[in-house]
Chains A and B, each alone.
Chain A
């Protein structure tokens, strides 16, 4: 069991620098360039990265806004795209904090939770003594968030300086990154929902472009929910 602040700092640093940081740097570079190419201002790119801190929700914000949807539907869409944070936080907090521990800081710390820090915490926490787990999470998450913010800046300002094919490649990186990250989620329910949602997204986009994503979510999600129930009963 690890019970030393220095060792925990070093462990969190080592875990964060590497795959999580590079992934975030690259994916947020794609996001930054998308914001720039959608003619939206730089503060919005940074606010979305730091404030939403989840690529699916950030892409939903930009895509739905550019599609000219009313603010209400854009916000609803972003909120739905990020619903996964609830189960993530619920499973994460009791592992990080000592039993019965309550702190207002949790409401601030939770903002930095993303799939990377969640997965790293779940993996490492069992090796770390409980009172040092918050330290691990903070060091890890701060490094990740810095990498993501840096990526957003590079993407936003870099895209204009690049040859057109590379700039287009950066924008294309968004859906690809997104697909690969989600394909890595090893659970049948999420796979069913993704596969059901994909064709519906196209159909609804052609039939009802204003509400395409929300309709896809509600109709596709309900279908997938029922389908999964059926498969479970077998």
Chain B
């Protein structure tokens, strides 16, 4: 990594940290005075969740990086298994993630 790209990466990370902290800081400043259920904040929450839904779908179906070397079928199947276990097993996070990831590893190893 060159020096300039290291600096750029450091600045980017600081920017991302600041962009996150803004919400926390505003929250402390106005904790008693802000109406966080007003329409503007509601809209921002919707934007944030829609973005996250899009990000999950993209990471599973059209990943960038190492997951590209795995078949779409394995990713989709393991994802459905994980989320399925979550809802069947009483919304427990850890068993769902464990079983989903284990199925993915098995699929990648043996098929």
Contact = CB atoms under 8 A, between A and B. Distances in A.
A221 B105 contact: no
A43 to B, nearest CB: 8
Contact of B46 (A51, A173, A183, A189): A189
Contact of B83 (A23, A48, A61, A179): A179
Interface stretch (A2-10, A129-137, A138-146, A199-207): A199-207
A37 interface: yes
Contacts, number: 315
Contacts of B66: 37, 167-168, 171
Interface string A136-179: 00000000000000000000000000001111111111111111
B36 A86 contact: yes
Contacts of B79: 175-176, 179
B36 to A, nearest CB: 4
Interface in B88-110: 91, 93-94, 96-97, 100-102, 104-105, 108-109
Pick the most buried of B36, B48, B82: most chain A CB atoms within 10 A of its CB.
Answer: B48
Contacts of B10: 43-44
Nearest to B21: A111
Interface string A71-108: 10011111111111111111111100000000000110
Interface string B1-20: 10000101111111111111
Contacts of B87: 183
Interface in A22-60: 22-23, 26, 34, 37-38, 40-41, 43-44, 47-48, 51-54, 56-57, 59-60
A65 B50 contact: no
A78 B24 contact: no
Contacts of B9: 40-41, 44, 65
A222 B13 contact: no
A196 interface: yes
A23 B102 CA distance: 16
Contacts of A177: 93, 97
A78 B50 contact: no
A217 B46 CA distance: 8
Nearest to A191: B49
5 contacts: A75-B19, A87-B45, A165-B109, A202-B61, A216-B53
What are the 10 tightest A-B residue pairs by CB atom distance, in nearest-first order? A201-B54, A89-B27, A197-B53, A220-B50, A221-B47, A197-B50, A217-B51, A79-B19, A193-B49, A216-B54
Given A176-B100, A180-B82, A213-B55, 13 more contacts: A51-B16, A57-B20, A61-B13, A71-B11, A86-B34, A88-B27, A90-B27, A94-B32, A107-B28, A176-B97, A178-B55, A190-B45, A225-B46
Interface of B: 1, 6, 8-28, 30-32, 34, 36-37, 41-62, 64-67, 69-70, 75, 78-79, 82-83, 86-87, 91, 93-94, 96-97, 100-102, 104-105, 108-109
